[in-house]
Amino acid sequence: LLKWVFVLPCIAFYSPLDGGYGWFIVLSTFLVFGLTFGVIKSFGVFFVEIHHYFATTATTSSWITSISVATVHFGAPVGSALSAYFGHRPVVMVGGLLSSIGMVAGSYAQDLLQLYITVGFLTGFGYALTWTPTVTMLGWYFEKRRPVANALASTGECILTFILTPSFQFMVDQYSWRGAMLILGALQLNLCLCGALLRPLNRLVPPKELEEKEHELELLSQPHIDSRSSNNRSDSKKSDALKVKIIRYVDYTLIANARFMVYSMFGVFAALGFFAPSLFLVPYARSQGVEEYQAAALMSISAVLDLLGRVLFGWVANLRLVKTVHQLIVTVILLGIVLLLGPLATTFTQLALFSAGYGLVFGATVAIHITVLAEVVGVERLGSALGFFMLIRSSGGLLGPPLAGEMFKRNLVTSDYPKQ
C-alpha cells in the first residue's frame, strides 16, 4: 500500500501534455532544427567561396562541414548528460552562445585549420548542446501526437534552408564570405531564445527514480536480518545507488540493447550520405555550367519538397496505418534509389528534378526516424538513446563529406567560380 501511495501520483505527473505549452516546445525545436542542420545544409554556398579563397581541394574544404557534423554527433551524449544534470534550458542557451562564438570567430579565420576549430568544432559542439536536449524535451511533451510533433518541428530544417541558401548567396555577394559568416554568427544567438522556451514539466519524476524509490520501500518492508548480512546488503545498496545515478544521466545499458544497436547501424550508413548532397549540390551544379543563383535555387527546391515530405509523411505516420519502422524502411530505399540516379543529372532542369526527389524522400525519412527511436527504446530513455545514437552515427557523419569530395573532385571545375 505504501508503495502505491508514492508511485501512483508520480505516474500521474508523468503523463505527457500532447498540446498546450507543448506547441511552444515544437516552435523551439523548429528553430533549433533550422539554425543547426538547416545552416549545415546551406553551408554549400560558403563552401564554394572558401574553396576558391584558400585555393584548396574540394576534399580539404569539406572537412569544415565534416568536423561540424561529427562534433554534433560526438557531443550528443554530453548534451544529454548535461541537460539531465543541469536542466535542458541552461544547456541549450550555453550551446547557442558557443555556436555564435564559433561562427563569429570563423569569420576572422586566416587558414583552414582555424575554420576547422571554430566553425567545425566549436560551432558543432554548440549544436550538440542545443539539438539533443530540445528534441528530448519534445518527446516528453508529446505521446499520441508525437509523429506529427516531430515532423512539424523538423520542418524548421527545410524552411530555414529554403530561406538561408539564397540569403547567404546574397550576403556573400554583398559582404564577402567573411561578412556573411559574421551575420550568421549573430543569427545563431537565437538558439539562446530557443533554450529559454524550454519550460520544465512538473511531471518529471524519471522512471529510474521511481524504481529506486520502489526498491527502497521494499527494503523497509523486509524483516530484520543479522549484522553481517546487513553489511553486505549496505555495500550492494551503495553500488546499486551509484549505478542508478549514472544511468539517470547516461544510460549505458543501451549498448546491450540489440534493437537499439541495429537501429544505430542504420544511422551510421544514413549519415554517410545524408549531408553530402546538400554540401556538394551547389558546387557540382556550378561545375556543370549552372549560374550561381540557379545553383543556390536548387537547395531551395530541395527544401520545399523536404518540407512537403516531412509534413505529409509525418501525418501518415500519425494515422498508424502501418508500423512506423516499415514506413521508414520504404523511404530509405527510395532515398537510396534517388541518390544513385543523382550523377546522371547535368542540366539545371535535371538537377532541379533530382533536388525535388531528394528533398521529398529525405524529408519523409527524417520526419519519422526519431519517432522510431522512441518506439525502440521507450520515451523514458530517449535522452540517452539520442546521445548514443548520434555518437554511433558520428563515424558516418565524419567520413561522408570527404568521401563524397573524393568522388566529386574530378567533376568540380574551380576555374568557373568567380573570385571574391
pLDDT the model gives residue 250: 60
User: Among the listed ranges 37-46, 277-286, 339-348, which one has the minimum average pLDDT value?
Assistant: 277-286
Which of 331, 199, 193, 219 minimizes the C-alpha distance to 274?
331
Residue 419: exposed, middle, or buried by beta-carbon count in 10 A (0-12, 13-18, 19+)? exposed
Helix segments in 188-257, DSSP class H: 190-196, 207-220, 227-249
pLDDT the model gives residue 187: 94
- What's this model's pTM, rounded to 2 decimal places? 0.68
CATH superfamily of 21-202+250-416: MFS general substrate transporter like domains (1.20.1250.20)
Model confidence pLDDT, tens digit, residues 66-76: 788 888 878 88
* CA contacts within 13 A on the Cβ side of 255: 8
Model confidence pLDDT, tens digit, residues 190-228: 999 999 999 887 644 444 444 544 454 344 344 444 545
The full set of domain ranges for the chain reads: 21-202+250-416
Is the pLDDT at 28 greater than 90, yes or no? yes
Model confidence pLDDT, tens digit, residues 234-292: 555 555 555 555 555 566 677 777 888 888 888 888 777 766 777 778 878 888 888 87
pLDDT the model gives residue 244: 56
Integer Cα distance of 42 and 168 in angstroms? 8
Integer Cα distance of 281 and 362 in angstroms? 15
